[in-house]
Structure 1
Amino acid sequence: MTTPVIELRAVSRRYDDGPPALHEATLTVRTGEAVAILGPSGSGKSTLLNLIAGLDRPNGGTVTVDGVRVDGLGEAASARYRRTRIGLVFQFFNLLDDLTVADNVALPAQLAGTARGPARRRAAELLAALGIDRHADAYPGKLSGGERQCVAVARALVNRPALLLADEPTGALDTASGEDVGKLLAGLNGEGQTIVIVTHDLALARSCTNRTIRIVDGRVSEEDAVVDGRVSEDDA
């Protein structure tokens, strides 16, 4: 049996006096899995992702990622954890427009202490592997949405994270670009990368994940294996 990358035990998160955004969630994601987190808006999907990423803290329970108790980290330790253990991909890319594609990809490695030369070589390696090395010296504003998301994925992978987290990675893309990103994520998972995706995009879940988790009203209500690349419409 493969090693768990993510272990959540009875994790809850409540904001002010409202109902819990997440209620006693327990979840295990093992090395090499690709998992889609599905559910309606406001169900707790992004809260779950933020807790795994160390961008938020639970009110109860424990969050362990790649052997690190994330829920107990201070601000500086959380920042180091995100730089070294996980890669983050967002809906709107969050690339720096005044840096070239190559510099955008290399930046997290340099922030983690890698010298400029090795960081640039790692960036070039990733851009070539993802088929976008021809854009290395371009600026993000000159690229299509799909190309910018591929750059964002490369940036997320530059420090060789144990876990890749993606929050609605096709939400700002047209259908064709979304399909390309799905193929990219499926290929990365095929090479062993552990991936967790929050999405409303059933096509994305079908194309690049092997397990789905449904969240309703802050509760993990069911877990399904993806069979032959198919996910039930009820998981949207």
Structure 2
Amino acid sequence: MSTPIIEIRDVSKRYDEGPPALADLSLTVEPGEALAVLGPSGSGKSTLLNMIAGLDRPTEGGVTVAGVRVDELSEAASARFRRERVGMVFQFFNLLDDLTVLDNVLLPAQLLGAGRAAARARAAELLDYLGIDRHSGAYPGRLSGGERQRVAVARALMNRPALLLADEPTGALDTASGAEVRELLTELHADGQTILLVTHDLALADSCASRTIELVDGRLARDERAVTR
């Protein structure tokens, strides 16, 4: 039996005296799953994502990602863990506009101290795989939204992460670009990438996810697996 990529055990998170952002949540994600996290605003989706990324810590409970208790890491160790094991894709791309596409994609490998030749070969492989190799010397501001999100995905995959986290990856895109990103994430999942995505895009969840959960008031309200097509 495979070791889960994500294990969340009895996690609660409180920020003040009000209702908890997460309440006694337990969740396991297996390698190769594509999990969509749905729920209304304030349901705890972003808190859950931040816990898994090691950007926030639970008030109670434990969070294990790729065999590491991320809630017990120091800030420096948490940052290194993200660079090594977790890729992150954001709604607004978070690309550096003064770097070329290639240099944006190379950045995570440079931060880990990877060899230049191996990093450039990996970046070229990703740009080709994602269909944006012709833009390697361009700056992000000259690309469409869909193309910029593909660059962001390439950057997130640069260090071969065990887990890809996507936070509203189609939220800032037009209809056509959103459809491109849905297709891309579906392809990545089919190729074996473990993905957790937070989204309001039901079309994305339906097309990409092998499993969907819904959070309501910080609690797990629904957990469904997709019907095998």
- What range describes the TM-score normalised by the shorter chain of this pair? over 0.9
Structure 2 match to 1:233:
none
Structure 2 match to 1:234:
none
Kindly state the Cα deviation for residue 124 of structure 1 after the two structures are TM-superposed. Answer: 0.8
Kindly state the Cα deviation for residue 100 of structure 1 after the two structures are TM-superposed. Answer: 0.3
Are positions 1:194 and 2:223 aligned together?
A: no
Structure 1 match to 2:48:
48
- Using the alignment, how far apart are the partners of 1:128 and 1:23 within structure 2? 43
- Using the alignment, how far apart are the partners of 1:200 and 1:167 within structure 2? 10
Query: Are the equivalent residues in 2 in contact too, given 1:22–1:218 (CA < 8 A)?
Result: yes
Structure 2 stretches of 5 or more lacking a match?
A: none
Identity fraction in percent: 72
- Using the alignment, how far apart are the partners of 1:199 and 1:161 within structure 2? 21
Structure 1 stretches of 5 or more lacking a match?
A: 230-236
- Using the alignment, how far apart are the partners of 1:148 and 1:31 within structure 2? 27
Are positions 1:67 and 2:67 aligned together?
A: yes
Q: Residues 131-164 of structure 1: CA distance to partner in whole angstroms, max 9, x if unpaired?
A: 1101000000000000000000000000000000
TM-score (norm 1): 0.95
Alignment RMSD: 0.9
SS of 2:5 mapped into structure 1: strand
- Using the alignment, how far apart are the partners of 1:20 and 1:168 within structure 2? 22
Structure 1 match to 2:169:
169
Are positions 1:119 and 2:119 aligned together?
A: yes
Structure 2 match to 1:4:
4
**After superposition, where does 1:34-183 map in structure 2 within 5 Å?**
34-183=34-183
Kindly state the Cα deviation for residue 3 of structure 1 after the two structures are TM-superposed. Answer: 2.5
SS of 1:213 mapped into structure 2: strand
- Using the alignment, how far apart are the partners of 1:196 and 1:223 within structure 2? 14
Q: How many pairs are equivalent?
A: 229
- Using the alignment, how far apart are the partners of 1:71 and 1:177 within structure 2? 35
Kindly state the Cα deviation for residue 18 of structure 1 after the two structures are TM-superposed. Answer: 1.8
- Using the alignment, how far apart are the partners of 1:131 and 1:117 within structure 2? 21
